[in-house]
Structure 1
Amino acid sequence: MKRVVLAAALLAGAGVKAENPGAVLRIVAPTNQSMPLLKMAGVEPVEGLLKDVGEALAGMLGLRPLFIALPSKRAGPAVASGAADLLCYVKPGWLDDTVLWTRPFLVGVGVIAAHPAAPPLTSLHELRNEPLGTVLGYRYPVLDQALMQPMRREDVPDATINLRRLALGRVRYAITDRATLEHFQKDHPDSGLREALEVEHYQLGCALSPERAALLGPLNRAIERLQADGTLKALYDHYR
């Protein structure tokens, strides 16, 4: 009963009508993501790699994609409770919640972005006492480990605001994804932002709700098809 109540509350909070969960694939649209991963118009995703991947996977499963807009702090619990079915571009260690995992098929690179006036960096340890631009609800375990202490976070709601604050000089360095930084640089060539240091390469997949465990095998086969037929590469290329 507790799980049902939580699921209903999460769906109501997201402004989503309850539907037959067997007919749709309820995919989390993280509201703190930015292009090229995701662009939102209110609670609806309008473009981005995560929207395209979600729609492709749902189509291969013969399901209708239903996107549920949630901040990252609520995304994991929503999937674990059954309020949502799928959350992509994540990996074990980023979520505390008990979920199932697809095979990894998405790639990313975590980087430190720097303000034009910020000194060059040679190691992550140099950021030990530096305030860092971060996104609310995101985890940065590699950086925490490298600093050997909790980082000095300057949390903001999403990845674009993080880079905007950096461009304004509110912080000298920010943690972001290379694709997000490159997209921002393309849109704001006068910002002068640069990549200062690479943090990690990561292989990412999707977290699946235990309530939809029967979908794990079909999802992995769908992922294999996306990779084999060139669809995934085409989606990545579209946003470069």
Structure 2
Amino acid sequence: MKRCIIAVIYFVLCSFCSPVKAETVLKYNVNGSSNWVPYYIAHSPDNPGILGELVPLILATANIKIEKHNFPPKRTNHALGNGLLDFDFVSPSWFPNDDLGELFVQSSPLLIIQENIITLDEHAKNWQNIDQLKGKEIGTVRGYLYHDDANFTRVDFISERELIKALYKDRVKAAISGDLPALYWAKQLNSPITLAAVHSKGQLVMRLRKEHAALLPRINAAIDELQSNGTIKRIIDKYTKQEVFEHLAQ
């Protein structure tokens, strides 16, 4: 009996002395370029964009703490590679062979995302196929991923807004942009553009560093819950319905 009591005391003491594992806090940066409308809208707490609303909601539903950072796109990719950030949101269609790389796992899809070759209306006939990009100088956003950028010469600008301006200044004849950001900035700048060939179309997913893969079932369950109860669709509709989209561009 004496030995049993001693053993219990030892176990209790060890329990108190054992180091407590800190709760995981995932670090992220969702801003893309300064304004990745309608996915992220800077300095707009009431209407922060689709991902601006969805990211905190998904992780809160999964009961995972997050820490937001504010890096430019080029530094964001570097930070993800070396572990300073833990996740971002991408489309596998932006990568060669849809491969996110060995450092990452991917979540269930959130939404469909598309990017187009954009140009002025008078040049649209020259950009009806992505093969027409080969060997050309093409407007791109600094730090963004393009699955086929080995086929053309990147001319980097700091944002989708600057791509529209570059087309009108004849600095490039064509650029690559998400369809919704391009339409938003064309309206904002009163500079009409044409959506030519589809450059990529795919699903937006969370790209999560592999060392946090054990959290993926909770993240996927949260995404599935928010999909099934209509929350994700409601947030997407909020930013893509024509009347709301036009209001954002005022």
- TM bin, normalised by shorter chain, reads 0.7 to 0.9
Change (3 A) 1:47 1:136: same
Where do 1:1-240 residues align within 5 Å? 22=23, 24-32=25-33, 34-41=36-43, 47-91=48-92, 93=95, 95-96=100-101, 98-120=103-125, 121-141=127-147, 143-144=148-149, 150-188=151-189, 190-240=190-240
Change (3 A) 1:21 1:85: farther
1:116-150 CA distance string (max 9 Å, x none): 43241332223334321101122322x44xxxx63
Compare the two structures and name the one with the higher helix fraction: 2
1:72-101 CA distance string (max 9 Å, x none): 333344335432222113438375561121
C-alpha distance in 1 between matches for 2:136 and 2:81 = 35
Deviation at 1:52, TM superposition (A): 1.1
Residue type of the alignment partner of 1:180: P
Change (3 A) 1:76 1:129: closer
C-alpha distance in 1 between matches for 2:128 and 2:88 = 34
C-alpha distance in 1 between matches for 2:22 and 2:143 = 27
Change (3 A) 1:204 1:164: same
Structure 1 ranges of 4+ moved more than 4 A: 94-97
Deviation at 1:181, TM superposition (A): 1.6
The alignment's C-alpha RMSD in Å is 2.8
1:137-190 CA distance string (max 9 Å, x none): 22322x44xxxx6302111122222222223332121101111122223323x3
SS at match of 1:195: strand
1:35-75 CA distance string (max 9 Å, x none): 1111234xx99711121111111210234442112233333
Compare the two structures and name the one with the higher strand fraction: 1
The equivalent of 1:6 in structure 2 is none
C-alpha distance in 2 between matches for 1:64 and 1:171 = 43
SS at match of 2:131: helix
User: Does the 8 A contact of 2:129 with 2:197 survive in 1?
Assistant: yes
Unaligned runs of 5+ in 2: 1-20, 241-250
TM-score, normalised via structure 1 length? 0.77
How many residue pairs match? The answer is 214
The equivalent of 2:14 in structure 1 is none
Residue type of the alignment partner of 1:103: S
The worse-fitting range, judged by mean Cα deviation, of 87-96 and 48-57 is 87-96
TM-score, normalised via structure 2 length? 0.74
The worse-fitting range, judged by mean Cα deviation, of 98-107 and 84-93 is 84-93
Identity %: 24
